Structure 1
Amino acid sequence: MDERFKEKIAAKGFSQLTPIQVAVAKPLQAGQSLDALAPTGTGKTLAFTWPLLPTLTVGDGEQVLILAPSQELAMQTTRVVREWAQLLDLKVLALTGGANVKHQLDRLKKHPEILIGTPGRVAELATKGKLKLNRLRTLILDEADELLKDETAQQVDQIWDTCKDAGIQVALFGATPVDLTVAAGLFDREFERIDARDTQIPVQIKHVFWLTANDQRNKRLRQLASQKNLQAMVFFNTTKQLKITASFLAHEHVAMATLVRGDSSSTRERALRDFRSGKAKFLLTTDVGARGLDIEALPLVINFDLPSHSDTYTHRAGRTGRMAKAGTVMSFGNDHDLRRVRQLVDTQVEVLKGLPRFNKGEHQQVTKAKKKTAPAKPNAKPVNSSQLRVDEDAPEKEQTSRAVTTKKRKQEPEISRHQRLAQVKKAKHKHSKNKGRPLKQRQRS
Structure 2
Amino acid sequence: MLGLLALPREILHRIFSFADQKSRKELRLASGLLGEIGQTWVFQTARISPVKKNWRRFQEILDHPDLAASITKIYLDTVTPEDDNRYYTEDNESKEGEEGTEQGDEGEEYHDQEMALPRHFWRHVNRLREFPRLQSVVLRFHPECDGEDDSWHDVVQDIPFRSAVMRKSMAVLAALPRRPQELAIQDLQNINPKDPVVVANLTKLLGGIKSLRLNIANQLDEGNGENDVEREAVHEFFPSLSLFWLTPAAANLQHLTIYSSIYFGFYPKFDLRGVHFPQLKTLALGNHTFVHDSQLDWILSHGVTLEELYLDDCPILFEVAIYDKNRTLLDPSDLKSHPRLTGKSHASYGTRWHDYFQAFKERLPHLQHFRFGHCPHWWVDDTTPFEKETTIDIGFHENYMVFCDGYGPSQYMGNMIYDEDGDGEPLEPSEEDKTALRELLAKLGQL
Whether TM exceeds 0.5 here: the answer is no
Q: TM-score range by the shorter chain?
A: under 0.3
Higher gyration radius (CA): 1
Q: Looking at both structures, which has the greater relative contact order when contacts are Cα pairs under 8 Å and sequence separation is at least 6?
A: 1
Provide the TM-score with structure 2 as the length reference.
0.26
